[in-house]
Structure 1
C-alpha cells in the first residue's frame, strides 16, 4: 500500500498545531482587500486575522478567489515526487468551484503519474465543518485506513457533519448581497441574528432568525442537543470570527451541559470571514442528519 498525504484548503480553518500533528497539507487561498491580493495560510503569514477583521469592522470589503490550476499542480506534484499519493478533501462544491478545478489538475497529473492514486473528494462542508471532516479523516488514516477505504468513509461521513453558524454582521451580509437593505435595517433595529447552516448539497442556507446574541447561542446549543450522536460526538469544533471571548462563553455552556468530551476553538479565517463578516460563531459536530436540500 502506497503512503499518502491528506490535502485540504485554507477554508478548513484548522490550527497550525492540528495540521502539524496530523500531517495535513493545506493549500493557501487568496482574498482581496482594496485591490491588493493576499494569500491566507494557517500561520497568517501575509495578514494576521486581527488585522483582517479590523479592516472589515471599518467597512472594508474582502472578496475571494478559488484555488488556481498552478497551485494545485505545484502541491500535488511535490507530494507525488516524494513517492506518495494524494487524497484531497475540497471545500464544498455547493459554494465554490475548487472541487471541479482540482479534478482537472488530477486528470492531467494522471498522465504523468499513471501508477499513483490522486483522489479528490468533495467535502460538501464549509469552514470548521470541512475542518472537522478532515480532522476525523486524518484520525482514520492514523488507524491504518487505505486511501481508497478513507475516500469511501469520507463520502459517507460528510453527510453527518452538522453546521450551525450564528451571524452577527448584518451590514456585511447586505454588502455581500446575501440580504437586502430593508432586511438589514429591520434586522438591526430588532437585533435579529441569522442562523445559517449547510444543506446536503453543500450550500449555505438560512435556517432560522433569532432575536439577540445570547438567544442565537442557545439555539446552537439546542441543535447540538437535538442532533449530536452521543457515540461519536466526542469532539466539537467551535469557530469564531474575531470574537474569542464569546466563543469561550459558548464553550463553557457546552461543557456545563456535558455535550462533548472535547470542544476545540478554531479561528475562522478570511476566506469564510469575507462572506460572513466579523462576530460569527460556528458550531460543527457529527450528528444524525443534515438539513434536507
Structure 2
C-alpha cells in the first residue's frame, strides 16, 4: 500500500496540541480584526481570548479564503516527499477554499504524475470538519488505504450533523445570515437561533428558542431527533465554542447524561468561523441518520 498523508485547512478548529501531535499539515485561511490581517492557524489560547474580547468590544472582522498559491505550496511540499495526498477541505457551501484545493491539485497532477492527489469537499465547518479529519487519521493509523478512507468520507459526509446556537444575533446579521430587523427583534425578546449545516454545506436556521440555557438544551434535543441508528455507536462527540467553555461543557454533560457518550473533544472556534458566529457560539457535532 502506497504511503500517504492527510491534510486539511485551518477552519477545522483543532487545538494546537492536536495539530502538533498528529503533524497535521494545514492550508491557512486568513482573518482581520481592527483592520490587522493575520493567519488563522491553530492560534494560542491567549490569542483566541484576545480575538473574542476585541469582538465583544466592537472590533470589525473580515475573513479571507485560502489562496490557490498557498494551497499549491503546501501540496507540493507533501508530494515532494514521495507520498500520496488526501486533503479534506472546508465546505464549498461556505468558502471557496475547497475549489482552490481542487485547482491546486489539478495543477500539481502534471508535476507529480505518479502521485495520487485526492481532494474531498467536507461540506462541513469548524469541528464538524475536524470530526471528519480525526476519523480519517484514525482509519489511516488502522492501516486503511487512501482509497478506503476517501470512500468512507464521501459515504459519511451526509451523516455528519452540525448544530449551532449563538449568544448575540448581530454577528449573523453582519454576515447576512439574518436580516437587521430579525436581529433587532430577536435580541429584544431574547430569541436564540439553532442553526445547522445542510446537505449542501450551507449554514441555515433550524429553530428559534427563547433564552440561553434553553438554546443549549435545544442542541441536545435536536441531536436526539437526528441521531437515529447512530445512537448506539461508540462515537467521539465534538463541541466547539466562541470563548464560552463553561457552556460547551454544559452541553457535553447533557449529551453524556442522555446518550451515555464518554469521548468528547472540546475546542475553541477559530477566527475564520468565529468572525461570522461571534463570541458565545456553541456548536455540537456528531454522526447521525441525517443532517
> How would you bin the TM-score normalised by the shorter chain?
over 0.9
Moved more, 222-231 or 193-202: 222-231
Distance between the aligned counterparts of 1:258 and 1:205, measured in 2? 26
Mind listing any 5+ residue stretches in structure 1 that lack a counterpart?
none
Q: d(CA) in 2 for partners of 1:26 and 1:3?
A: 19
- For the residues of structure 2 that align with 1:37 and 1:22, how far apart are their CA atoms? 27
Match of 1:192 in 2: 191
Q: TM-score, normalised by structure 2?
A: 0.95
Partner of 1:33: 33
Aligned position for 2:252: 251
Q: For each residue in 1:25-56, what CA deviation from the matched residue of structure 2 results, as whole angstroms up to 9, or x when unmatched?
A: 222210012322100111439x8101111111
How far, CA to CA, are the matches of 2:174 and 2:156 in structure 1?
Answer: 34
Spell out the pairing of 1:6-21 with structure 2 (5 A cutoff): 6-21=6-21
Is 1:66 aligned to residue 57 of structure 2? Answer: no
Distance between the aligned counterparts of 1:71 and 1:221, measured in 2?
38
How far apart are residue 80 of structure 1 and its match?
1.0
- CA shift, 1:116, in A, is 0.2
Indicate whether 1:263 and 2:264 are aligned.
Answer: yes
Q: How many residues are matched? A: 289
Residue 2 (structure 1) aligned with residue 9 (structure 2): no
Which runs of no fewer than 5 residues in structure 2 stay unpaired? none
The answer to whether the 8 A contact 2:12-2:90 is kept is: yes
Report the RMSD for the aligned CA atoms in angstroms.
Answer: 1.5
Tell me, in whole angstroms, the C-alpha distance in 1 between the residues paired with 2:233 and 2:10: 25
Match of 1:222 in 2: 221
Matched with 2:166 is: 167
Runs of 4+ residues over 6 Å off in structure 1: none
Counterpart contact for 2:195–2:206, Cα < 8 Å:
yes
Given that 2:7 and 2:87 are in contact with CA atoms closer than 8 Å, whether structure 1 keeps it comes out as yes
How far apart are the structure 2 equivalents of 1:277 and 1:20?
26
C-alpha displacement at 1:233, in angstroms? Answer: 4.7
CA distance in 1, matches of 2:77, 2:117: 12
**Map of 2:131 onto structure 1:** 132
Q: How does 1:61-100 map to 2 (within 5 A)?
A: 61-100=60-99
Q: 8 Å contact 1:5–1:23 — kept in the other structure?
A: no
CA distance in 2, matches of 1:183, 1:43: 33
Point out the more displaced range, 31-40 or 130-139: 31-40
String of CA shifts for 1:57-114, please: whole Å, max 9, x gaps.
0111211111012211111111111111111000011111111111111111111100
